[in-house]
Chains A and B, each alone.
Chain A
Amino acid sequence: MAIFAGALWLACKAPPRFVRAVRIKQYPGVLKPLEDISGPSKWSG
């Protein structure tokens, strides 16, 4: 019974599932103004 319950739990839990995350209400970090985006950009490639 325990083995069956364990196997059932694993079957439900283990396969990859696509879960769309929900937006958090408030950003936990520090914000900066959007006006200026002319600064040097990050490395790419």
Chain B
Amino acid sequence: MCLIEAGQSGECRVRVNIDGALRTVVYGYPCSIAVDPIEKKPLFHFLPGTGILSVATVGCNLHCTNCQNWEISQANPEDEDIRAYSCSPEKLVALTKQNNCPSLAYTYTDPIVYYEYTSDSAKLAREANIRNVLVTAGYINAEPWKKLLRYVDAANIDLKSISDDFYRRVCSATLKPVQNALVMAKASGILVEVTNLVIPTLNDEPEQIGELARWVKVNLGAETPLHFSGFYPRYKMRNLPPTSLKTLEKARQIAKSEGLDYVYIGNVASKEGQNTYCPGCKKLLIERSGFTIMQNRIRGGGCPDCEREIYGVWK
């Protein structure tokens, strides 16, 4: 929580105390709008093969030294090289429809810092039968999170590490609120997928990966998809190499041996690590190549071979 002095902004750079009133500078002014494959979020268990209108404003309440989108997440609205669109929630919903997207993602930076814009847009989107997706670090207090979740259909939430020390050193944040947000999101009934960006030497120890996978299984359930994503040297962390495929495959193997049903590898080319397999009969259900669905064998939300129900929103 920020205590913001008059005339100052908070940690996120986009919420300002003007004459004693908290004002959001970025409401209706996203810096990024694009149509992405939903697999890019990544969401592998939510409307596979569809496009999703994706939106972000500048600013973030975390300051990860490895941030892959630091040009916008750590920018100020006043920065001249980061220009913004003027796009009201009504326009955003209309754009989603124009682009034939069944869902709308609040992503790239963190929807928590443009909370009011996200919340108002999500309400309108729901009225228009458009699904709402959050891609977030989940660093938020319980009360606003609960209010926002009412309008959300799915979320990919980062669990950057299972170590509070990592959150403090790398992200200028803490672990506990993120864990609370994950548990609350899953308990609310929305579809939840989890992403862990694996950074060489910082959070790639097998013991840490195992502990993280166990936490996900115990607190969110074995059916919760977990994505291990590859790191690339960016922002203030250019001294470390990209995560190797071998490390990501090892992480996947550990998480599967801990009992998670759906474990994926992202940000690198991996055939098996991008496919969905039935946890019951082990048969291939969804084959992916990059962000493209090569085949989807799920029928009626289940495995066509053993009829086991597959966690997800499939239509």
Which positions in A face B, CB cutoff 8 Å? 13, 16, 18-24, 27-34, 37-45
Contact = CB atoms under 8 A, between A and B. Distances in A.
Given A18-B144, A22-B22, 6 more contacts: A23-B116, A24-B23, A28-B78, A40-B34, A41-B35, A44-B40
A3 to B, nearest CB: 21
A22 to B, nearest CB: 5
A24 B83 contact: no
**Closest 7 A/B residue pairs (Cβ):** A41-B34, A21-B24, A32-B83, A23-B27, A21-B22, A43-B68, A45-B42
Interface in B54-92: 54, 56, 58, 68-69, 72, 76-80, 82-87, 91
Given A18-B141, A44-B41, A31 B21 contact: no
B32 A42 contact: yes
- Chain A facing B: main interface SS: loop
Contacts of A32: 83-85
Interface centre among A22, A33, A37 (most CB of B within 10 A): A37
Interface string B14-52: 011010011111111100111110001110000000000
B32 A27 contact: no
Contacts of A21: 15, 22-24, 27, 115-116
A26 to B, nearest CB: 9
16 contacts: A18-B143, A19-B22, A21-B27, A27-B84, A29-B76, A30-B80, A31-B85, A32-B83, A32-B84, A33-B85, A34-B33, A34-B85, A39-B34, A40-B34, A41-B108, A44-B42
A37 B24 contact: no
A42 B68 CA distance: 9
Interface residues of B, number: 56
A24 B16 contact: yes
Interface centre among A20, A27, A30, A39 (most CB of B within 10 A): A27
B195 interface: yes
B27 A24 contact: yes
Interface of B: 1, 3, 15-16, 18, 21-29, 32-36, 40-42, 54, 56, 58, 68-69, 72, 76-80, 82-87, 91, 95, 107-108, 115-116, 135, 141, 143-144, 147, 156, 195, 227, 229, 266-267
A20 B143 CA distance: 12
B91 A34 contact: yes
Contacts of A16: 1, 141, 143
Nearest to A27: B29
